Amino acid sequence: MPKAGIIYNDVKPIAGRVAIELKDKLTAAGWNVCITSSIGGILGYSNPESPVCHTPIDGLTPPGFDSDMEFAVVLGGDGTVLAASRQVAPCGIPLLTVNTGHMGFLTEAYLNQLPQAIEQVMTGKYEIEERAMLTVKVLRGDSVLWEALCLNEMVLHREPLTSMCHFEIAVGHHAPVDIAADGVIVSTPTGSTAYSLSAGGPVVTPGVPVLQLVPICPHSLASRALVFPDTEPVNIYPVNIPRLVMVVDGNGGCYIFPEDRVYLERSPYSVKFIRLQPTEFFRILREKLGWGLPHIAKPTSVELP
């Protein structure tokens, strides 16, 4: 019996309702279906009294989800996709992402396209696009205090975000650099259209094997976004700051103290996204972000999204 999964945002009633309907449909078609909430992929939030809320990377995989699963359907928005990616990336399960949220930049289909999308996936008529992830660790000496998988970005900043931070950052075996800024972002190509973009970083197409370091509101004109090979790890040391907070993919993290070190490297795991049609990244940029449209729209000469 073939095996499939469903991961849904249990905060949104429509996602929960569709998840139950989809489970019944797949079960009737002879599939063994496991269903879970995306809340299992949400990273715990720390607080000053409990500065580390640590769930090991392999500890987020839901019961029943394993490498025998042919695909999993994700019902939600971009936040749900990020959480689901952390849940299943260690198992290598392909994800069909269906938007029940707002922008849905990371999603492949809309809710009204779900019946046709499921039929297409059940017959194996799709392609797989792999997206690189980061492994983020907080180290104190040789001890790992915290770790997580990251699809978009890691952000390190002061709490609250109101004053300058100082960082010593070493990329690979290159000489460390000192950066003074409100914070720093280390982003994957997937994350280049998220916080990194808002902070002035470049858009990177998903297949390029790079990472980028983006200072947030840097004090120096010389501190600008840096793009470097994803084969080079990154070490970040906070300097002269009592305490920083780190956030991964916008939903959780831990406090960083002066004796701590943040270590990032390309993860051995990647996210596998199901694509129902040939991937066209520029089309997504155009439809979701308005990239490439003329500054004056001419209805007779341009097709608006």
Rounded to a whole number of angstroms, the distance between the first and last alpha carbons of the chain is 41
The reply to whether 97 sits in an annotated binding site is no
Rounded Cα distance between 164 and 282, Å, is 36
Q: Which residues of 156-181 are buried (b: 16+ CB within 10 A; e: fewer)?
A: bbbeeeeeebebebbbeeeeeeebeb
**Four-residue CA torsion sign, 215, 143, 47, 250:** positive
Residue 79 assigned to a binding site:
yes
Whether 27 has a binding-site annotation, put simply, is no
| 195 known member of a binding site | yes
* 235 has binding-site annotation: no
Three-state DSSP class for residue 216 = strand
Known binding residue 129? Answer is no
Question: Has 95 been labeled as part of a binding site?
Answer: no
Among the options 78, 230, 249, 260, which is catalytic? 78
Q: Give Dmax over CA atoms of the chain in angstroms.
A: 64
Tokens for 243, please give them: 């305490």
The β-bridge partners of 214 are 185
Task: Determine whether the annotation assigns residue 193 to a binding site.
Answer: yes
Residue 220 among known ligand-binding residues = no
Confirm or deny that 38 is annotated as ligand binding. no
Is 31 exposed, middle or buried (CB count within 10 Å of its CB: 0-12, 13-18, 19+)? middle
Let me know if 78 is a catalytic residue: yes
Q: What tokens were used for 200?
A: 């002035």
The reply, when asked if residue 66 is annotated as ligand binding, is no
- Report which of 10, 2, 65 is spatially closest to residue 32, judged by C-alpha positions: 2
Q: Is 197 annotated as ligand-binding? A: yes
The annotation places the binding site for NAD(+) at: 78-79, 152-153, 182, 193-198, 251
Point out the residues that are catalytic.
Answer: 78
